[in-house]
Amino acid sequence: MARITGRLPQGGAVLLGPGDDAALVSAPDGRVVVTTDLLIEGRHFRRDWSSGYEIGRKAAAQNLADVVAMGADPTGIVVGLGLPPEAATDWLDDLTDGFRDECDLVGASVVGGDVTRCDLVVVAVTALGDLGGRAPVTRAGARPGDVVAVTGRLGHAAAGLALLHGGRTEPVGLIDAHRRPQPPYARGPQAAALGATSMLDVSDGLLQDLGHVARASGVGIMLAPEAFAVPPLMEEAARLLGADPLEWVLSGGDDHALAATFPEGVRLPPEWTVVGQVVEGDDVQVRGRSPERGGWDHFRK
């Protein structure tokens, strides 16, 4: 552990860092947000497709995105690592640096962990956050009439993964998006302050994730397909692979964009794009798109 902890500066929220039975983290709000994700080699990442550093950043990112999606500010993460012998050296250093640098983006720290031998790489991350007196923004508060808005990238990681599966190494911008998501961290607390009625991070694809909001809130959601701009890089990738780029945008996960609903009439900053509306109902529909089209069924999984 000394190898790891020596690479990990401790931020202001850390009252007791790695090295004891447990860490101690500031929770000034009197409540603590907590979320966990388990990443398994071969299922969530491949060491020949991503570096240790990229895997560390991605594992931290997906948990930190869950924290900001509640409207909270991340404070710290703990990591459980299962490592084969050959990964317990420089590769581990890179992984650790990835955790650290991703946490650094949001002012959080790696406050503790556990390392054990395993035949394949296992990365378990738990992230904590503080609400700063705000109410948590759950999936359950959307109301008919609310607008649906997104911020961050959609479909980039899915396009990158499709390119890798197709044996491609370009466009690099999309492949990098698979290797290292860039969640729009600051916009989680921002959305909470703007009065978001529901929010989540897009990890399984927008249609599927908005399905969670629809179910939890007891509403329907109608999306406007023309609101989704398909960037030129993605058009290019879709041509290369013979794919439908809107399918990546609507059903691709792993970019960790944020999707939220806001009261009608809210003035949203330009980094948020309105993509639809909350309606009476119980499912997610894309206007003009038949339910039989790809992407539609995904959210029922």
Site of interaction with a copy of itself (CB under 8 A) = 15-16, 19-40, 43-44, 66-67, 69-70, 72, 76, 78-82, 111-120, 122, 124, 126-129, 131, 136, 138-140, 199-201, 216
In this complex, which beta carbon is closest to a copy of itself, that of residue 81 or of residue 150? 81
Nearest to 289 by CA among 222, 231, 203, 201: 222
- Written as six digits, the tokens of 24 are 């101690």
In this complex, which beta carbon is closest to a copy of itself, that of residue 128 or of residue 147? 128
In this complex, which beta carbon is closest to a copy of itself, that of residue 122 or of residue 240? 122
d(CA 231, CA 62) in angstroms, rounded, equals 23
In this complex, which beta carbon is closest to a copy of itself, that of residue 131 or of residue 207? 131
> Distance of CA 292 to CAs 18, 133, 247, 252, 275, Å?
51, 44, 12, 17, 21
Minimum CB separation from a copy of itself for residue 184, in Å? Answer: 14
Which own/partner contact pairs does 21-28 have at CB distance under 8 Å and 24+ positions apart?
Answer: 22/112, 23/76, 23/78, 23/111, 23/112, 25/75, 25/76, 25/111, 25/128, 26/75, 26/130, 27/75, 27/128, 27/130, 28/130, 28/132
In this complex, which beta carbon is closest to a copy of itself, that of residue 25 or of residue 150? 25
Minimum CB separation from a copy of itself for residue 111, in Å? Answer: 7
In this complex, which beta carbon is closest to a copy of itself, that of residue 200 or of residue 233? 200
Q: Is 237 helix (H, G, I), strand (E, B) or coil?
A: helix
Of the CA atoms within 13 Å of residue 110, those in its CB half-sphere come to 29
d(CA 64, CA 62) in angstroms, rounded, equals 6
**Any idea what DSSP says for residue 298?**
G
Minimum CB separation from a copy of itself for residue 236, in Å? Answer: 32
In this complex, which beta carbon is closest to a copy of itself, that of residue 12 or of residue 242? 12
> Distance of CA 56 to CAs 14, 236, 257, 263, Å?
20, 29, 18, 37
Minimum CB separation from a copy of itself for residue 232, in Å? Answer: 31
Minimum CB separation from a copy of itself for residue 39, in Å? Answer: 8
**Phi first, then psi: what are they for 20, rounded to 5°?**
-115, -170
Minimum CB separation from a copy of itself for residue 125, in Å? Answer: 8
Minimum CB separation from a copy of itself for residue 235, in Å? Answer: 31
- Quick check: 177 and 251 in contact, CB under 8 A? no
Helix (H) or strand (E) holding 89: none
Minimum CB separation from a copy of itself for residue 78, in Å? Answer: 4
In this complex, which beta carbon is closest to a copy of itself, that of residue 174 or of residue 258? 258
- Written as six digits, the tokens of 166 are 């197709």
